[in-house]
């Protein structure tokens, strides 16, 4: 693997999932693989899980991880080609990225969208400029449109649950629902885009997206998915429910309604097939998801967040093998 930006960088999803689960049962089995190698984790935005799980994954592979909170500690970077840098930006990515490429064997980057201009965000200029100028493999820690380490984790978690109770899925594909949830502020579409992209590429489940009118996602990432505006219809007989808010895509970056009726409740779970509930975290309790669900045995959120380590470890392992 030369980079990890989207599902398109993965030749076989099932192999990567399997590798992740092997690491989960034997975390230190490849401790020599990353010996003498260094990864730079660059954050232009906050993180808890992505930062720490990737550091743990790197340590498990014997690599050194250096975290750099670019937004707080670094020079203000310019990303536009040909920019006249007479404003607030101090250093061009053309100059900074090659330097980082000299310090690190792998660069991993988190760059959220600004949610001001769809064309700008969906061009993925920030991460693409790192890829263009770094000269070393780049891993997305969540970009403007996608969150691939989260999506790999989500599939690992679904597969793990399927492995635990194979009789429940004997001869049938699990039903997976991605449902929009209320939130108090506009959030990126990354997690929803990425989950849709990975789950449709995986081809192991029946997948439907439920959202209020006006919350359509980009066709670029959701091709092959079914859609409904009827959350209850989607939840019927569901095996897995992925709860996530996202802001509008068409009239970009807005929240029109914060309808509490879309919050998943225990009552709504009754119509499912004892569905397990997923969320990438952080979660706004009793806005996106109720306490009663998050604190119930149906919630997979802690297991899911724990699996972030094994997803990152499998991806770093694949990249290390390609640069040995």
Instruction: Tell me which residues touch ligand CP (CB under 6 A).
Output: 47-50, 142, 150, 280-282
Q: How far is the CB of 53 from ligand CP (least distance, A)?
A: 8
H and E: helices and strands count for the chain: 14, 11
Taking residue 110's Cβ as centre, other Cβ atoms within 10 Å add up to 25
| Cβ–Cβ < 8 Å for 91, 78 | yes
270: Cβ contacts below 8 Å, ≥ 6 apart? none
Q: How far is the CB of 142 from ligand CP (least distance, A)?
A: 6
Q: How far is the CB of 195 from ligand CP (least distance, A)?
A: 11
CA torsion through residues 28, 33, 36, 38, sign: negative
CB closest to ligand CP, residue no: 50
Q: Which C-beta is closer to ligand CP: that of 47 or that of 248? A: 47
Any idea what DSSP says for residue 184? S
Give one DSSP letter per residue of 113-140, joined into a string: --SS-HHHHHHTHHHHHHHHHH-S-EEE
Residue showing tokens 């959030």: 187
Q: Which C-beta is closer to ligand CP: that of 278 or that of 320? A: 278
Q: Which C-beta is closer to ligand CP: that of 304 or that of 317? A: 304
Q: How far is the CB of 76 from ligand CP (least distance, A)?
A: 22
Q: Is 212 left (phi over 0), alpha (psi -120 to 50) or beta?
A: beta
Cα–Cα distance, 62 to 316 (Å, whole number): 11
Q: Which C-beta is closer to ligand CP: that of 115 or that of 280? A: 280
Q: How far is the CB of 287 from ligand CP (least distance, A)?
A: 17
Q: Which C-beta is closer to ligand CP: that of 190 or that of 225? A: 190
Q: How far is the CB of 279 from ligand CP (least distance, A)?
A: 9
| Cβ–Cβ < 8 Å for 247, 255 | yes
267: Cβ contacts below 8 Å, ≥ 6 apart? none
| Cβ–Cβ < 8 Å for 225, 143 | no
Q: Which C-beta is closer to ligand CP: that of 176 or that of 280? A: 280
Q: How far is the CB of 44 from ligand CP (least distance, A)?
A: 12
Q: Which C-beta is closer to ligand CP: that of 127 or that of 175? A: 127
Q: Phi and psi at residue 225, in whole multiples of 5°? A: -90, 155
């Amino acid at each position: 693997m030369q980079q990890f930006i989207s599902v398109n960088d993965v030749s076989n999803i099932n192999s990567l999932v399997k590798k992740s689960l092997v690491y989960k049962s034997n975390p230190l089995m490849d401790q020599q693989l990353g010996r003498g190698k260094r990864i730079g984790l660059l954050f232009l935005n906050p993180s808890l899980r992505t930062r720490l799980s990737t550091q743990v994954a790197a340590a498990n592979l014997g690599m050194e991880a250096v975290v750099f909170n670019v937004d707080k500690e670094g020079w203000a970077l310019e990303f536009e080609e040909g920019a006249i840098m007479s404003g607030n930006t101090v250093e061009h990515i053309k100059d900074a990225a090659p330097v980082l490429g000299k310090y690190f064997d792998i660069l991993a980057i988190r760059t959220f969208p600004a949610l001001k201009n769809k064309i700008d965000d969906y061009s993925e200029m920030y991460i693409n400029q790192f890829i263009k100028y770094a000269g070393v493999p780049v891993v997305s820690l969540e970009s403007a449109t996608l969150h691939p380490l989260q999506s790999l984790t989500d599939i690992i978690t679904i597969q793990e649950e399927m492995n635990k109770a194979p009789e429940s899925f004997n001869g049938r594909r699990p039903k997976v629902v991605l449902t929009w949830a209320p939130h108090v502020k506009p959030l990126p579409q990354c997690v929803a885009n990425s989950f849709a992209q990975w789950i449709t590429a995986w081809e192991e489940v029946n997948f439907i997206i439920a959202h209020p009118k006006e919350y359509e996602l980009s066709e670029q990432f959701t091709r092959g998915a079914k859609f409904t505006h009827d959350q209850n219809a989607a939840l019927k007989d569901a095996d897995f429910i992925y709860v996530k808010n996202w802001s509008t895509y068409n009239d970009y970056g807005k929240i029109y309604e914060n309808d509490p009726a879309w919050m998943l409740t225990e009552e709504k779970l009754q119509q499912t097939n004892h569905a397990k509930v997923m969320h990438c975290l952080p979660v706004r309790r009793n806005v996106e998801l109720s306490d009663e669900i998050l604190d119930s045995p149906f919630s997979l959120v802690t297991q899911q967040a724990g699996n972030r380590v094994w997803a990152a470890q499998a991806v770093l392992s694949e990249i290390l093998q390609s640069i040995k």
